[in-house]
Structure 1
Amino acid sequence: MINRRTLLAGAATATGATALGAATLGSSTASAEPATQHAAPKGRYRIDLHAHFLPPEYRSALIEHGHFTIGGYPTPTWSPEADLAFADYYGIAARVLAVSDPGVSFLAGKEANDLARYCNTYAAGLIKRHPKRFGSFAVLPMPDVAASIAELAYALDVLHLDGVTLLSAYDGVYLGDPRYEPLMVELNRRSAYVFVHPAAIPDSAKPKLPVPDFLAEFTFDTTRAAIMMMTTGVLNRYPNIRFQLSHAGGTLPFLTHRIGVASQTAVGRFGLPKISLLDVQSQVAGMYYDTALSAAPTAMNSVLAATSRDHIVFGSDWPFSALVLDQHGDHDPAPGLSQTFTSEQRLEIERRNPLKQLPRLKAAIGK
């Protein structure tokens, strides 16, 4: 079993060395801003691929089970009306909704299955009422792999949702672990789009720091999941799965070279396959990276060093980003992007790239 404790032990040196850099990646300003601030495109054009929702019964279940915060952020309220108002204000044409951490993994058995079905059916209803304004990534009743495969089939074949959401780990077991192999086989067969969202770390597996998980630990956990999928060969075995990594991939772009070098030493002691530097670079470049809470040049330039611009997609992280976005009154949800990208390049990142990955939504919206 490769769990949080095992992987954390092997990554301790790298995590310590990069914690300050990771915090910088998530900041809203750069220490050395470029001379030119490009103009943002006008109109309601954005396609939001890091968009959360909390339908009523789901939020009630969270609160009932003590989830008053998510990653240290107060569990927000949500409604379709507030969602549309937010999107209209910030020039967002459509939001592809996803359940955030902890998914439905705080339940088990029939309760988890029923809550996943409720969330997915709720999303499908929104799409039916507003086909040009909403899409959705299905939540699965993980870590129950058999039940998740069944819900995946229902969500994609019956409800016609746009993809699925997976957390970086479930019960301390990361994506890439062999027990998830049957699900990966099915996702690959379907050429599924998979939104990977970080999960909160158990208190027993993380240092005691006076900051909430969503500020730093979330970025590290996305990185751990991506490293696991590379070192266990998931990305090579299942090339049809398109993985989107939250928050600009966490610290993965920064660590790309280091992971390739370290694969011959530290990673090898876990009995995992040794991956070359070139293989690491190729696998990192093949995933997709969203801009949620990561629009600053420090983050975007790191992503551009690891992959091409056509692998960057827009994400708002709303309503979990509400406290941040409410500070901006200029109708631009990611003003930092204009410090790195021109208006035309922002159109590519915020609209064209997302629509290329989601044919149902593209057909509904048009050009």
Structure 2
Amino acid sequence: MTDSRFRRKTSRRRAFGGVVAGTLGIAATSAIARATPARTGQPAPSGTYRIDLHAHFLPPDYRAALLDHGHVTIGGYPTPDWSPEQALAFMDYYGIQAQALSVSDPGVSFLRGKEANDLARYCNTYAARLLQTHPKRFGAFAVLPMPDVAASVAEAVYALDELHLDGVVLLSAYDGVYLGDPRFEPLLIALNQRSAHVFVHPAAIPAEAKPKLPLPDFLEEFTFDTTRAATLMMATGTTQRYRNIRFQLAHAGGTLPFLSHRVSVASQTVLGELWPDDLPRPSVLDTQRQIANFYYDTALSGSAAAMASVLAVGKREHVVFGSDWPFSALTLPQTGTHDPAPGLSDIFDAAQRMEVERINPLRQLPRLAAAIDA
């Protein structure tokens, strides 16, 4: 090869490399811009405007059943009291206009058969009555009698089509089987047909399967379990097949945003080589797209560190407010500041907080939005 031909090829490579580097640089700069805390120090908007998509309820018979079966703590947190009156007082104090209520771990999965079905129906009917009594203050995600898939399909259809609840709550795993496992397909088909909002809440890992650490599950293990569920849903193509479902990941997605790059390289390992022929082969960019399509709530994650990580891989319009009350009662006492997540002001200005704490959640719950506007 002559020197001139070599120089021309080298020049083309450098030019191509410059284009690629420039493209990646723009993408990286955009991600950094999204993730860089604004640190505006602006106060939150005033008034009762927040819509809470991560809030729990424990109807009387449900709480009694938990205690009767030895669930005196949930994720290491003492099983709390709850009543509509307590919830309304909390909401009024912290400027929360409405809460979308859900049953936390363990759902009704500590029961089986008719007992589980009946308890799920009790919780969902209780929620539906709350929606009628306080239409502008409460929404609800239906609890299902998982891991019984057939019964859960029936309850989901009833809760969404007849009771008109706002979505469903699913735990990250049932009996050690994570969301994304093929045996849950019939339920996901039914939810996809209804374009359901699905709140994914972590489940406690069985004692024999987790490290012996003197720490309650809700501090760390819950976040890891959410990550496992989200990763498996992507790895098995669940999030690709059921694109009408809007999956909301609790607690800012657990550790998924931080591990997003690590998760995305799965397609370059033996996992990618074993990919089923009837599913699109994953790629780094496609995995990143799927991660960006999740919704992330701010429950126990209202800090610049957590939100910057979410914004680095996702979209601000996919961030929704969550309080985790009453399980956050110790960190959100009804004394002092009336801002339930002051750390959000370290990364969002007042207009962006309004988007995260009201506009985005209401987009996900059209029934509740219509009730509030009525």
Q: Output the TM-score relative to the length of structure 2.
A: 0.87
Match of 2:161 in 1: 157
Indicate yes or no: 2:364 matched with 1:357. Answer: yes
* Aligned with residue 226 of structure 1, among 230, 244, 248: 230
1:173-192 alignment to 2 at 5 Å? Answer: 173-192=177-196
Partners in 2 of 1:53 and 1:113 — Cα distance? Answer: 18
Cα shift readout 1:151-178 (whole Å, capped 9, x = no counterpart) = 0111011111000000000000000000
Match of 1:313 in 2: 320
Indicate yes or no: 2:52 matched with 1:45. Answer: no
- Inter-CA distance 269–319: structure 2 relative to 1 (3 Å threshold): farther
Cα shift readout 1:163-205 (whole Å, capped 9, x = no counterpart) = 0000000000000000000111111111000000000001121
Cα shift readout 1:231-290 (whole Å, capped 9, x = no counterpart) = 000000110000000000000011111111133226459877752110110000001000
Cα shift readout 1:278-305 (whole Å, capped 9, x = no counterpart) = 0110000001000000010000000000
- Secondary structure at 1:195's aligned position in 2? strand
Deviates more, 1:149-158 or 1:240-249: 149-158
* Aligned with residue 247 of structure 1, among 246, 251, 265: 251
- Secondary structure at 1:95's aligned position in 2? strand
* Aligned with residue 148 of structure 2, among 144, 148, 154: 144
* Aligned with residue 283 of structure 1, among 287, 290, 297: 290
Match of 1:297 in 2: 304
Partners in 2 of 1:54 and 1:266 — Cα distance? Answer: 44
Match of 1:235 in 2: 239
Partners in 1 of 2:266 and 2:157 — Cα distance? Answer: 38
Match of 1:345 in 2: 352
* Aligned with residue 99 of structure 2, among 89, 95, 115: 95
Partners in 2 of 1:271 and 1:66 — Cα distance? Answer: 42
- Inter-CA distance 34–191: structure 2 relative to 1 (3 Å threshold): closer
Cα shift readout 1:98-155 (whole Å, capped 9, x = no counterpart) = 0000000000000000000000000011110000000000000000000001001110
Partners in 2 of 1:198 and 1:224 — Cα distance? Answer: 10
2:304, 2:344 within 8 Å by CA — same for their partners in 1? yes
Match of 2:269 in 1: 265
Partners in 2 of 1:215 and 1:300 — Cα distance? Answer: 17
Give identity over the alignment, percent.
Answer: 72
Across the two proteins, how many residue pairs are aligned to each other?
336
- Secondary structure at 2:323's aligned position in 1? coil
Partners in 2 of 1:301 and 1:266 — Cα distance? Answer: 31
* Aligned with residue 80 of structure 1, among 67, 84, 104: 84
1:326 deviation in Å?
Answer: 1.6
1:206 deviation in Å?
Answer: 1.2
Indicate yes or no: 2:334 matched with 1:330. Answer: no
2:75, 2:204 within 8 Å by CA — same for their partners in 1? yes
1:38 deviation in Å?
Answer: 1.8
Partners in 2 of 1:235 and 1:271 — Cα distance? Answer: 15
1:34 deviation in Å?
Answer: 6.5
Deviates more, 1:267-276 or 1:41-50: 267-276
Q: Which residue identity lines up with residue 180 of structure 1 in the other structure?
A: F
Partners in 2 of 1:79 and 1:306 — Cα distance? Answer: 37
Partners in 1 of 2:274 and 2:105 — Cα distance? Answer: 28
Partners in 2 of 1:267 and 1:164 — Cα distance? Answer: 31
Match of 1:18 in 2: none
Partners in 2 of 1:266 and 1:290 — Cα distance? Answer: 33
2:320, 2:357 within 8 Å by CA — same for their partners in 1? yes
2:39, 2:345 within 8 Å by CA — same for their partners in 1? no
Match of 2:21 in 1: none
1:334 deviation in Å?
Answer: 0.5
- Secondary structure at 2:331's aligned position in 1? helix
- Secondary structure at 1:67's aligned position in 2? coil
2:40, 2:349 within 8 Å by CA — same for their partners in 1? no
Match of 1:116 in 2: 120
- Inter-CA distance 176–209: structure 2 relative to 1 (3 Å threshold): same
Q: Output the TM-score relative to the length of structure 1.
A: 0.89
Indicate yes or no: 2:62 matched with 1:62. Answer: no
Match of 1:170 in 2: 174
> Larger radius of gyration, structure 1 or 2?
2
Match of 2:209 in 1: 205
In structure 1, stretches of 5+ residues that fail to align are 1-31
- Inter-CA distance 279–64: structure 2 relative to 1 (3 Å threshold): same
1:33 deviation in Å?
Answer: 8.2
- Inter-CA distance 271–206: structure 2 relative to 1 (3 Å threshold): farther
Q: Which residue identity lines up with residue 345 of structure 2 in the other structure?
A: S
Partners in 2 of 1:66 and 1:364 — Cα distance? Answer: 38
Partners in 2 of 1:270 and 1:218 — Cα distance? Answer: 29
2:39, 2:347 within 8 Å by CA — same for their partners in 1? no
- Secondary structure at 1:330's aligned position in 2? coil
2:179, 2:229 within 8 Å by CA — same for their partners in 1? yes
